[in-house]
Amino acid sequence: MSTFWSIWISAIVLGTIFGCWWLLVATRKGQTTDTETDRTTGHSFDGIEEYDNPMPKWWYYLFIATCVFSLGYLALYPGLGNFKGLLGWTQYNQWEQEVQVAEAKYSEIYAQYGDTPIVELAQDDDAMKMGQRLFANNCAVCHGSAGRGSIGFPNLTDDDWLYGGEPDTILHTITQGRQGAMPAKGMMPNMTAEQVDQVVNYVLSFSDRAQSEEAAEAGKQIFGQACAACHGQDAKGNQAMGAPNLTDNTWLYGSTYDRIKETVMYGRQNQMPAQGGRLSEDQIHILAAYVYSLSN
Ligand code: HEC
Ligand code: HEC
């Protein structure tokens, strides 16, 4: 805030408080007596008259006390323009303190599982309840609350893995993240429309769904040239590259002719964001065990 507005606000706030104070004292001075009397203000309406009594003392002092309180408050806490208050309190540092307290408390709880091997930890009901909550807060937006995934987001409850389901691999995936990249038309950027149709038919033939046997047969050779480097000669995938198995029933982007053709034509880019740094090592350890438990 600029100095001008800081002074502007301070002047209005302090002016209002002292104004109230002055009003209280000034109106009280005009009163002739300090105690209750039978004297009336003089006006009468329909026979109803109004006593001219002073405000009760306790009430008067209560008003003064609120003015004193507000001045004290403004001295200690932010409220006067740029003045930060003598205590240096901010919403932010209060939040930080609360987070620190919570982290100190919870990190102990997470840490007790840090040395338990993942396979063993996956059997521990208490730890898995904790894992479920961590999953709901950090992973469910993408993988779904039950971990079943959706188009583009892998299902974590099945036995099919892009990168591998070994405890250490899961731990690595969560900590470092993953970058899935399928280049358009694989290793054959000049693939013709006919060749695309042929290779898609070949992929479909793994699940006996080729639209044309002839095209599938021709696609086999194209596959060897353009796709096998990543997906393998047998099309069973390569977990080191995150290239999915194309012969099974699990599909990241859908199993229809059109979806597969789309993948081949335009390629796919996908990212699993790294959690190291966002979550503590102990939290990731529990999450890895939770993910492991989903399919084991
Ligand atoms: C922003 C979305 C997003 C969030 C959040 C996210 N993931 Fe992922 N995750 C993905 C995507 C996308 C992939 C697939 C990457 C690819 O295709 O290469 C993936 C892949 C994975 C894999 C590898 C699966 C396999 O088949 O090998 C695991 C394990 C995983 N995520 C676990 C987690 C956990 C645990 C969390 C929570 C800490 C999490 N993910 C949070 C998007 C996300
Ligand atoms: C450079 C390596 C590479 C090459 C070459 C490659 N792919 Fe892929 N492919 C991948 C990766 C990695 C993915 C997973 C992308 C992701 O995680 O989002 C993938 C995904 C796919 C999918 C989606 C599978 C699903 O479960 O939905 C299909 C279909 C596919 N590729 C077919 C092909 C075909 C056909 C070719 C040859 C024309 C080919 N790929 C060439 C790396 C490759």
User: Does pLDDT of 34 surpass 70?
Assistant: no
- pLDDT confidence of residue 19: 96
The predicted-structure confidence for 213-268, as pLDDT tens digits, reads as follows 999 999 999 999 999 999 999 999 999 999 999 999 999 999 999 999 999 999 99
- CA-nearest of 241, 163, 260, 205 to 232 is 241
With bands split at pLDDT 50, 70 and 90, how would you rate the model's confidence at 32?
A: low
7 token code pair: 């002074």
Of all atoms in ligand 2, which is nearest to the CA of residue 199? 35
User: Does pLDDT of 33 surpass 70?
Assistant: no
The predicted-structure confidence for 178-209, as pLDDT tens digits, reads as follows 999 999 999 999 999 999 999 999 999 999 99
Cβ 263 under 6 angstroms from ligand 1:
no
Residue 123 dihedral angles phi and psi, to the nearest 5°: -90, -10
Of all atoms in ligand 1, which is nearest to the CA of residue 284? 38
CA separation for the pair 111, 80 (Å, rounded): 45
The three-point CA angle 102-107-113 to 5° equals: 145
* CB atoms near residue 225 (< 10 Å): 14
- CB 185 within 8 Å of CB 196: yes
* CB atoms near residue 138 (< 10 Å): 18
Cβ 229 under 6 angstroms from ligand 2:
yes
For residues 53-79, average pLDDT: 92
User: Does pLDDT of 30 surpass 70?
Assistant: no
Cβ 287 under 6 angstroms from ligand 2:
no
Determine if residue 182 is left, alpha or beta; phi over 0 gives left, psi from -120 to 50 gives alpha, anything else beta: beta
Determine the distance separating the centroid of ligand 1 and the alpha carbon of 270, expressed in angstroms.
10
Identify which of 143, 270, 281, 287 to mutate to test ligand 1's pocket (most ligand atoms within 8 A of the CB): 143
The ligand minimizing its distance to the Cα of 132 is 1
Name the percent of the chain lying above pLDDT 90. 85
141 token code pair: 């937006």
Determine the distance separating the centroid of ligand 1 and the alpha carbon of 105, expressed in angstroms.
28
Question: Which residue's CA is minimally distant from atom 22 of ligand 2?
Answer: 263
For residues 99-115, average pLDDT: 92
CA separation for the pair 149, 290 (Å, rounded): 15
Residue whose pair of structure tokens reads 């003089």 in the numeric block: 42
Identify which of 182, 249, 256 to mutate to test ligand 2's pocket (most ligand atoms within 8 A of the CB): 182
- CB 284 within 8 Å of CB 175: yes
